[in-house]
Copies of this chain bind each other. A is one copy, B any other.
């Protein structure tokens, strides 16, 4: 099993650490594996098209979102497994002390 490193995690948290992008990502996650066209994200979140494109690219750059073209429309999907890997990192590295005691067990 591949374990994420600190730098990559920071890059992903930075990507999610913006209210607009977190909302975009949540929208994609809720949409399920089939994803959503960019235009649909646009109308659901009310983000300007160019701004949305910019934010999507930030999420794509850290592999939390993927795009797939179908004709003229681009479908965006949340990358569930990479998101899970990120959460796993946080649980493992940011939630347990040196003795491996988890913070929710305290």
Contact = CB atoms under 8 A, between A and B. Distances in A.
Interface residues of A, number: 43
Q: Which of A25, A81, A84, A90 has the most CB of B within 10 A?
A: A90
Copies of this chain, count: 2
A33 interface: yes
Contacts of A61: none
A1 interface: no
Contacts of A16: 10, 13, 17, 94
Contacts of A60: none
B33 A97 contact: yes
Interface of A: 6-7, 9-19, 21-23, 25-26, 29-33, 78, 80-81, 83-84, 86-87, 90-91, 93-99, 101, 103-104, 106
